[in-house]
């Protein structure tokens, strides 16, 4: 059984603010995803590496350049595992793009997919039209020959909810 999960620093989303920047960690800070396989009660990890946690959190007094760099750090969330008709393992997740400094509405989340290919993960593949501003959950559907990563999300350009899919072989 394959399991995908989020990884974050200790005290994530707890006890952090302008006056308490040394105790906890801000929301969405240093979030990434990981995958394991549970086989007969034993947890196995693929040799393939996924993105590591990056960067430090802002400290008082706030510095505009450091804060901008902090807000641009990649963050990964909501991983999902799928197996295609060929038995290949697929991972979908959402990743942030931009910050309040780079896009008018704020951070945009986009769905990406990767396939486990022997000892490595393939490069990220964008799920077309999966950009969204708030909460959206990627998924991975299986057919006999392909994996169909998808995302249901309203976007800044099209606020009506829709399903976005991209067929990957």
Provide the number of structural domains found in the chain.
Answer: 1
Sign of the alpha-carbon dihedral angle for 165, 35, 115, 109: positive
pLDDT by residue (tens digit) across 4-56? 998 888 777 777 776 776 777 777 777 889 999 999 999 998 888 887 766 66
pTM: 0.76
Task: State the pLDDT at residue 166.
Answer: 53
Computed over its alpha carbons, how large is the radius of gyration of the chain? 17
Q: With 60 as the cut, is the pLDDT of residue 164 above it?
A: no
Task: State the pLDDT at residue 35.
Answer: 92
Least confident of 47-56, 79-88, 137-146: 137-146
58 with 21: CB under 8 angstroms?
yes
Give the span between the Cα atoms of 116 and 37, in whole angstroms: 12
Residue span of the structural domain in which 15 resides: 2-165
Task: State the pLDDT at residue 169.
Answer: 47
Q: With 50 as the cut, is the pLDDT of residue 162 above it?
A: no
Q: How confident is the model at residue 155 (pLDDT cuts 50, 70, 90)?
A: low
């Amino acid at each position: 059984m394959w399991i995908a999960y989020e990884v974050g620093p200790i005290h994530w989303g707890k006890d952090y603010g302008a006056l308490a920047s040394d105790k906890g960690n801000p929301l969405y800070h240093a979030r990434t995803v990981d995958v394991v396989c549970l086989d007969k009660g034993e947890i196995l990890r693929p040799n393939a590496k996924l993105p590591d946690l990056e960067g430090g959190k802002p400290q008082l007094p706030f510095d505009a350049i450091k804060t901008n760099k902090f807000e641009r750090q990649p963050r990964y969330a909501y991983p999902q595992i799928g197996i295609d008709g060929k038995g290949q393992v697929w991972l979908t997740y959402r990743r942030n793009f931009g910050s309040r400094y780079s896009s008018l509405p704020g951070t945009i989340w986009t769905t990406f997919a990767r396939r486990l290919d022997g000892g490595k993960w393939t490069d990220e593949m964008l799920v077309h039209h999966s950009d969204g501003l708030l909460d959206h959950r990627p998924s991975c559907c299986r057919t006999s020959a392909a994996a169909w990563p998808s995302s249901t999300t309203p976007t800044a350009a099209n606020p009506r909810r829709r399903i976005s899919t991209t067929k990957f072989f």
